[in-house]
Structure 1
Amino acid sequence: MKKYKFNVNGNNYAVHIKNVEGQAIELEVNGTPYTVEMEREIKSSKTPKLVRSSAPRTSAPKAITRSAKKTNVVAPLPGTIVSLKVAAGDKVTQGDLLMTMEAMKMENNVLAEADGVVGTVKVSEGQSVLQGEVLVEME
């Protein structure tokens, strides 16, 4: 069927795949026959696909969640906190810089989405965060 050459830890192997039926594969490695069973095929795309919505986007996604009296500023992307610009008790207005985070090798500013007072800063410089993780609780 197909012939391959492999080099594993400095050893060369000539592999000839003779038959594939379902999960069972009959093959020869350097002339020695083997029957192996494959757990499952792992499919991966060679190039990522960018999917865009056909609907026009009116604004950037909000990086906040709101409860009755508190507003949580959450991480828009997974990344690392580079610098903090606010501390608990600081008053901020909409658009003020709260912190800078590195995501996908780019620095991203995390801004206040509304006026308020910083209640709790949940992260520290150098900390890795996941998308959606609470960074700052505002009152």
Structure 2
Amino acid sequence: MLRKFKIKIDGNEYEVEMEELTPTPQAAPVAPAAPAEPAAPAPQAAAPAQPAAPTPAPTPAPAANGTGAGTPVKAPMPGNILDIKVKVGDTVTEGQTLLILEAMKMENEIVAPQAGVVTGIDTVKNDVVSSGDILLTIQ
């Protein structure tokens, strides 16, 4: 998907086109539910049945290293990891700096694309990463 941006540098305005290589996933359409058919009458039971108590869904434990559950944060360019500003289990806000990636002698802040909890960190300080590598995950 090609996106256009206007960038202003030192008072000069530039129009830039960028291609999004990994499009954001779209929610799958939900099919309408089929109408339920009337059930046959149940035979009389000796004692009324007790409804089963709902069991809570298990929450996955955050991974210390390795891919965690949630949205992956990928390296936008190849470079070296200079610093990791968060740890597994930290609550982050959208736009918060997660780590510093050095590319072409420039320090680039990699920020959270959404608010959530860090569920996995897939890189370490001084690691060399390629464009598209998963750096961490947020749920």
User: How far apart are 1:63 and its partner, in Å?
Assistant: 8.4
How many residue pairs were aligned?
86
Who wins on radius of gyration, i.e. which is larger? 1
Give the 4+ runs in structure 1 shifted more than 4 A: 58-69
In the aligned structure 1, how far is the partner of 2:111 from the partner of 2:22? 9
Partner of 2:74: 74
SS in 2 for 1:56: strand
More strand by share: 1
TM-score, reference length from structure 2 = 0.53
Q: Does residue 56 in structure 1 map to residue 4 in structure 2?
A: yes
- Map residues 1-139 of structure 1 onto 2, 5 A cutoff: 56-57=4-5, 70-139=70-139
Give ranges in structure 1 of 5+ residues lacking alignment.
1-52
Q: TM-score, normalised by structure 1?
A: 0.53
Q: Is the 8 A contact 1:84 1:125 kept in 2?
A: yes
Are 1:118 and 1:137, in contact at CA under 8 Å, matched by a contact in 2? yes
Cα 1:126–1:99, aligned 2, differ >3 Å: closer, same or farther? same
Preserved contact between residue 64 and residue 73 of structure 1 (Cα < 8 Å): no
Once the two structures are superposed, residues 21-46 of structure 1 have per-residue CA deviations (whole angstroms, 9 ceiling, x without a partner) of xxxxxxxxxxxxxxxxxxxxxxxxxx
In the aligned structure 1, how far is the partner of 2:72 from the partner of 2:98?
A: 12
* Percentage of identical aligned residues: 36
What runs of 5+ residues in structure 2 fail to find an aligned partner? 7-16, 28-68
Query: Relative to 1, partners in 2 of residues 1:128 and 1:63: Cα closer, same or farther, differing over 3 Å?
Result: farther
